[in-house]
Amino acid sequence: MAHHRAFHKLPMAEKLRFTGENPPPSLWSRFPNWQNAYDEEGIPGQDETTLRPADNQRTIDGEVTFTAGDATFACGDTVPAMLGVISGELGWIYVYPNPDEELCWVLSFHVPSNHWIAMNDDWFLEGGEVLRVPVGDSDVFPMRVGSRLPLQSSGEVIKVEIGNPKMN
């Protein structure tokens, strides 16, 4: 009797590089931390915005530029959020109001005024992948945001409460 080998197709390599877009929330449980892939900038289809999973997936260190978090709205609903960090300081928040969709709205911290700014300018919303921040919605704001992982430097998670963001 002849022996037959079963050849199974290997699954396609998972795409873990994201250029000009955030990694989808479905990857955040496995890879909460992301870093810019500056050393891969010359690879076709990649540039200085390309993100890859960070080497460190346990804490937020100086190499991490984005980390998974959660936003809790005033009404009590909690949704995923991607937090943009520079040297452990929170600068951007991408809130995904419907976790099943890859659409988000964006807040940016404006250091000179010490305020969170709703990124609702028409130029920023072009393309349809970014939603308008629901400024003035009492079901949303004040909103609490926290990282899922702690900062390596302090062992503390990033936490912030945002009242009603300012318009740019």
- Domain range annotation of the chain: 65-167
From 80, 55, 76, 51, select the one nearest 66 (Cα to Cα).
51
Q: Is the pLDDT of residue 158 over 90?
A: yes
Distance CA 52, CA 50 (A): 7
| Stated pTM of the model | 0.87
Instruction: Quote the distance between the C-alpha of residue 88 and its chain's center.
Output: 14
Query: pLDDT at position 129, please?
Result: 80
Query: pLDDT at position 13, please?
Result: 52
**pLDDT tens string 73-127:** 999 999 999 999 998 899 999 999 997 888 999 999 999 999 999 999 998 888 7
Are the beta carbons of 48 and 36 closer than 8 angstroms? yes
Count of other CB atoms within 10 angstroms of residue 15: 8
Hey, CA dihedral for 134, 78, 36, 159, is it positive or negative?
positive
